[in-house]
A = this chain, B = another copy of it.
Amino acid sequence: MDEPGFVAFLQRKFPFRFGLGIGDDASIVRRGRSFQLISTDLLLEDVHFRRADAPLDVLAEKALAVNVSDIAAMGGRPQYFYLDLGFPACLSTADLRRFFAGLARAGRRWGVELAGGDFSRADKLLIAVTIVGESARPLRRNGARPGDLLGITGATGGSALGLRLLLAGEKRSRFIRLHQRPSPQIAKGLVLSRFAHAMIDISDGLLLDLSRLLRASNAGAVIDYEAIPVTAGFRRDCRRLGLDEKELVLSGGEDYELLFTVSPRREKSLRRTGTGYHIIGRISRGRRLRVRENGRELPPGNLGFDHFAAAAGTGEKA
């Protein structure tokens, strides 16, 4: 089963009468005048991360960041979370304390509190976080309309570049920091929830997450590559390591920026809020996703997209 097939299978098999269940960044259940958002993410050693890539406090922080970003992607405010931790016996009590020190620091950073959990010995490190948030007006991924502008809150590819630098044995780079310590866009998500039609966070790459938004919205899109923010430092490191810049920008994952669509009229109001973002394209009719550079369409083979779409089967978020 591919990811859309798996999600459709689950949606058929598990109807959810409390609200919106499987299929977005978080479930949505009405609670009085507000909505409760809940999302869960599983991070496994040697599947999603290598233990050697970052100290345990940094891994704890990142595990929480991934979940915080799911709430941000719905325009919500994260509140508290539950932790299932599988901890290898080879690690010490000092390691355990370091993990929880990172978790506490991350909780303070994003204003979320630990509410409960379960703990077990395990062969490899395993971090499953379930996060609870709220929103007066949750923003789903299915509301994009043809003619909407396509916006992004920041640069992409930096985290993927950081991972390649780590794999190449480098230690110090702002891209490694981006990879290890991503910043979920809570504040921007809250503002965007008042203006945007659809939103998703970029966890698995710009094109793959955009394709999820487009599928949910039954729409297509055209991206203007030259409108995507790419810094000179990023270009330089890509050249130095012999990496394909476009592939990292379009398909590198774990940036946790927000991708959203907004009508041209509402975008004028959004601009006046002072929120930082870039308009990188437009929503179109049909289901096609095209990338242009200075008006010329890039061949799909250049986008690294199919590769990542296939790889996504190893980490499906329902």
* Chain A interfacial positions (CB closer than 8 Å to B): 1, 6, 9-10, 13-18, 21-22, 26-27, 29, 31-32, 38-42, 44, 46-48, 79-80, 82-86, 93, 96, 100, 104, 107, 113-124, 126, 128, 130, 132, 314-318
Integer count of this chain's copies in the complex: 2
B44 touches A115 (CB 8 A): no
B21 touches A100 (CB 8 A): no
- Contact partner, A80, options B18, B79, B132, Cβ 8 Å: B18
> Would A120 and B84 be within 8 Å (CB), given that A17-B113, A107-B14 are in contact?
no
A21 touches B114 (CB 8 A): yes
Dominant SS among interface residues on chain A: strand
30 contacts between A and B (CB under 8 A): A1-B93, A13-B104, A14-B107, A14-B113, A14-B114, A16-B113, A16-B115, A17-B113, A22-B117, A31-B31, A32-B32, A38-B115, A38-B116, A39-B82, A40-B83, A42-B86, A42-B118, A42-B128, A44-B122, A44-B126, A47-B122, A48-B120, A84-B130, A116-B318, A117-B317, A117-B318, A119-B315, A120-B314, A123-B124, A126-B126
- Contact partner, A100, options B10, B122, B132, B315, Cβ 8 Å: B10
Q: Which residue of B lies closest to A15 (CB)?
A: B113
A266 to chain B, nearest CB (A): 29
> Would A120 and B315 be within 8 Å (CB), given that A27-B115, A114-B21 are in contact?
yes
Bound state CA distance, A10 and B126, in angstroms? 18
* 4 nearest A-B pairs in the assembled complex, by CB-CB distance: A14-B114, A42-B84, A130-B130, A128-B128
B14 touches A86 (CB 8 A): no
Bound state CA distance, A148 and B243, in angstroms? 71
A315 to chain B, nearest CB (A): 5
Which residues of chain B have C-beta atoms less than 8 A from A32's C-beta? 31-32
- Contact partner, A126, options B15, B41, B86, B130, Cβ 8 Å: B86
| Max count, chain B CB within 10 A of own CB: residue among A48, A119, A124 | A119
